[in-house]
Amino acid sequence: MRFCFKSYALFLSLIVFYSICFVTPTRASLFIDSQIVDSVGDFGTQSSLALDSKGNPHISYDDNASGNLMYASWISSKFNIQILDTDGAANPSIALDSNDNPHICYTRANVTGSYLMYAKWTSSGWSTKTLDSAQDTGGISDPSLNLDTNGFPHIGYVSPADTLKYAVWTGSAWNIETIDPWTEQVADPSLALGSEGKPWISYFDPAIGLKCARWTGSGWNKMIVDANKEVGKESSIALDSRGYPHISYDDESLGNLKYASWTGSEWKIQIVDRNKRASFHSSLALDSHGYPHISYDDNTNGNLIYASWTGSMWNFQIVDQIKGAPGDLDVIWGFPTSLAFDSMGNAHISYCGYTKHDLKYASISDSRSFLITFNLEGVDYFDGKVLEVDSVELMFSDLPKSFVWQAGSSHSFMFVSVLDLSSGGKLFWRSTSGLTTSQSDVLKVSGEGIVSASFDTSPSNPNISDSNLLYIAGLVALVAAVAIAALGTLAFLRKKSKAS
């Protein structure tokens, strides 16, 4: 039997190609915390997530039953929920500025038409503005919002003519233009901004497939990413440190989740998940290494999946597994997810609870996280600072305060020594119970627990200062000296009396 080197080389090449493009999925081992944000309604069928500078989640979402736009933000140890719009609001997209103030773009549809809306939080409350409108109630859809370094909003959306449009605040006025006027029935735009504030927008063109438009500074450069008429819906785009785009999207004809990345000269495409109907509603984010991570729903098995690229293969983790229960709504899996990373590299996802339509939120990390709660005992009310945690001042009204900290992380705290009450009295720190007994300490997290300080009115404060100790010692010495002098005088008088 003759050995054919060319055939062998071709065989090896095919193996390498298959391993790169069709990597066998592996299951990761991650720690997941999930919770219900809002329930008892038809919440979260469309949600958008952003993280503030402290890693706290902010979520805009819809109440599909009532047509309300909702906003949930994590404050202290729970979500604070507000209603922002009650007139047919849907399709929210959220971003936070450098001051952690939320900006939300969404659509409004009622009997008068459809509208592109923009809301932002100001020092005095929410400010809302209509940016575009149409007589057709379904004419404006799918807005995608991002903020540049000046905090100016950029929005990609589908126009009343089903063409791709772009709106940007220049600092003095809104500028709106059509990006792709010759393409009709576009869908699912996703917008990302480069370091100079230049937008990239991925979108679905039903005549071609997945396309991407880039602003060059003088015009729009439109590229074909994946040429297949049934490929490119539900796209999600992010830019790496070089400004190169990465896109996750659906292959509707085969039910595959696909991923495309720009090398600077061409698009590289992978199939992430081949399961039938497994790819709908993906959301993509990049970690500090520029590796892609994707949240999406597994429509076949009813699971929320988190896929992460290691540099050589995709790892997969089930974030939430939905099982039917009495009272569940009879619905099909398939609502958008929203994924973001905090500064520690932990993933956060907002999504719909699918069977009961609860808005849910999950955080994912490589190490287990624990809940640490700080509290006070013996204090009914105090208007002022009572505690510092990681150099952040906490008032009495902030307590009890809970933190979710990763195992192995270290965090400092210090309770105040004396509380000066408005009545003129004082409360003194006496002890700490729970994870430590110290007034101030550095905690290394290894499990859940409570750090609770006890205060009372006793002046015998065990944490009394050195100056007070010196004062007390001096007073004791003075009293002793006076007593000795008195005894000496008494002994002298007695001796004199006997002599006389």
Q: What is the pLDDT of residues 64-108, one digit of tens each?
A: 888 899 999 998 778 999 999 999 999 999 999 999 999 999 999
pLDDT attached to residue 1? 41
Share of the chain above pLDDT 70, in %: 80
Answer yes or no: are the C-beta atoms of 453 and 461 closer than 8 Å. Answer: no
The pTM is what?
Answer: 0.74
Under DSSP, is residue 235 helix (H, G, I), strand (E, B) or coil?
Answer: coil
pLDDT 10s digits, 444-485: 998 899 999 999 987 644 444 444 545 545 555 565 665 666
d(Cα 151, Cα 435) in Å, to the nearest integer? 42
How far from the centroid of its chain's Cα atoms is residue 77's Cα? 14
Q: Is the pLDDT of residue 360 over 70?
A: yes
Which of 213-217, 344-348, 411-415, 488-492 bottoms out in mean pLDDT, i.e. has the lowest? Answer: 488-492
pLDDT number for residue 366: 77
Whether 149 shows a pLDDT value over 90: the answer reads yes
φ, ψ of residue 427 in degrees (nearest 5): -120, 135
Distance of CA 188 to the CA centre of its chain: 22
User: DSSP states of 155-167 as a string?
Assistant: EEEE-TTS-EEEE
pLDDT for the residue 6: 45
Q: State the span(s) of the chain assigned CATH 2.120.10.10.
A: 23-365
Per-range mean pLDDT, top range of 43-47, 332-336, 442-446:
442-446
Structure token pair of residue 250: 């659906």
- What percentage of the chain carries pLDDT values higher than 90? 57
Reduced to 3 states, what is the DSSP secondary structure of residue 218?
coil
- The four Cα atoms 84, 86, 87, 93 give a dihedral, to 10 degrees, of 40
The pair of three-digit structure tokens given for residue 244, joined into one six-digit string: 């190169």
pLDDT tens sequence across 234-284: 999 999 999 999 999 999 888 899 999 999 999 999 999 986 565 578 999
DSSP state letters, 250-316: EETTTTEEEEEEE-SSSEEEEEEE-STT--SS-EEEE-TT--EEEEEEETTTTEEEEEEE-SSSEEE
Average pLDDT, the chain: 84
pLDDT of residue 422: 87
Q: Which of 290-304, 325-339, 418-432, 438-452 has the lowest mean pLDDT?
A: 325-339
Domain 369-456 has CATH 2.60.40: yes
30-44, 198-212, 293-307, 466-480 — which is least confidently predicted?
A: 466-480
- Out of 238-252, 308-322, 367-381, 389-403, give the one with best mean pLDDT: 238-252
| 282 close to 294: Cβ distance less than 8 angstroms | yes
pLDDT at 358: 85
Q: Cα(81)–Cα(96) distance, rounded to whole angstroms? A: 17
> Quick one: tokens of 166?
């772009």
DSSP strands (E only) in 310-439: 314-321, 338-341, 347-352, 359-365, 369-377, 385-389, 392-395, 401-406, 410-415, 418-420, 426-434
Q: Which of 410, 387, 390 has its CA nearest to residue 398? A: 387
Q: What is the pLDDT of residue 253?
A: 85
Look at residue 21 and tell me whether its pLDDT is greater than 80. Answer: no
Per-residue pLDDT at 8: 42
pLDDT band at 111 (very low <50, low <70, confident <90, very high): confident
Around Cβ 411, how many Cβ atoms within 10 Å?
A: 14
Buried b / exposed e over 284-310, threshold 16 CB at 10 Å, is bbbeeebebbbbbbbbeebbbbbbbbe
Stretch among 156-160, 249-253, 331-335, 393-397 having the lowest mean pLDDT: 331-335
Query: Residue 365 to residues 33, 353, 484, 490: CA-CA distances in angstroms?
Result: 9, 21, 70, 79
Q: Which is more confident, 342 or 13?
A: 342
Q: Are 333 and 296 in contact (CB under 8 A)?
A: no
Place of tokens 């735009």: 189
Check if the beta carbon of residue 67 is closer than 8 Å to that of residue 83.
no
Average pLDDT (331-343) is 77
State which H helix or E strand residue 449 sits in.
strand 449-456
Judged by DSSP in three states, 7 sits in: helix
Return the CATH number of 23-365, one of 1.10.540.10, 3.40.50.740, 2.120.10.10, 1.10.1740.10: 2.120.10.10
185-207 tens-digit pLDDT: 889 999 999 989 999 999 999 99
In the chain, residues under CATH classification 2.60.40 are: 369-456
Strands 68-75 and 57-63: antiparallel
Question: For tokens 């202290």, what's the residue?
Answer: 76
Residues 68 and 50: beta-carbon distance below 8 Å: no
Asked if residues 91 and 46 have their Cβ atoms less than 8 Å apart, the reply is yes
